[in-house]
Amino acid sequence: MPTPSMEDYIEKIYSLIENKGYARVSDIAEELLVHPSSVTKMVQKLDKDEYLVYEKYRGLILTPKGKTVGKRLLERHALLECFLSVIGVEEAHIYEDVEGIEHHLSWNSIDRIGDVVQFFQENPDALDKLQSIRKNN
């Protein structure tokens, strides 16, 4: 299993490739607010662990393993953002809150959160009731 730091890199690389078609060390560094040398070190580790293939000065590509993990991590992030939005967390706090909790929840907890989000999406009356409770508190 990747460490939380590895997860952040895999998620960001997957997202960049999905959005731009490629992920360069400089792009990753800019997105994660780290030095390019830190990215190079992590990319080399991810290459060693078979999440991606990295060739110096030529870029990188995700392996099937890296794509699977990256997609799952991006989906986890989006689900947690949706969940926090549904329960009424202020938009300004959602991204940082997700970054703070996403690595500390089991996949079972993530799946149950998905069930809660689905429940509220399928039951707008229940969502209205939740919002009413929130307003009264």
pLDDT tens digits in sequence order for the chain, 137 residues long: 899 999 999 999 999 999 999 999 999 999 999 999 999 999 999 999 999 999 877 789 999 999 999 999 999 999 999 999 999 999 999 999 999 999 999 999 999 999 999 999 999 999 999 999 988 88
The predicted structure's pLDDT at residue 34 = 97
The tokens for 77 are 């992030």
Query: Ramachandran region of residue 90, left (φ > 0), alpha (ψ -120 to 50) or beta?
Result: beta
The predicted structure's pLDDT at residue 55 = 83
Gap between the Cα atoms of 137 and 20, Å rounded: 43
The reported pTM is 0.87
Top-level class of domain 74-136 = mainly alpha
Residue 69, C-beta contacts closer than 8 angstroms, at least 6 positions apart = 2, 7, 10, 14, 51
| In the chain, domain spans | 4-68, 74-136
Q: What is the CATH number of domain 4-68?
A: 1.10.10.10
* Segment holding 53, helix H or strand E: strand 52-55
* Segment holding 54, helix H or strand E: strand 52-55
The predicted structure's pLDDT at residue 58 = 77
User: Which residues does the annotation place in the binding site?
Assistant: 8, 11, 77, 99, 102-103
Cα angle for residues 74, 78, 79 (degrees, 5° grid): 115
The predicted structure's pLDDT at residue 87 = 92
The predicted structure's pLDDT at residue 38 = 96
The predicted structure's pLDDT at residue 99 = 93
Q: Count Cα neighbours of 61 within 13 Å in the Cβ-side half-sphere.
A: 3
User: Which residues does the annotation place in the binding site for Mn(2+)?
Assistant: 8, 11, 77, 99, 102-103
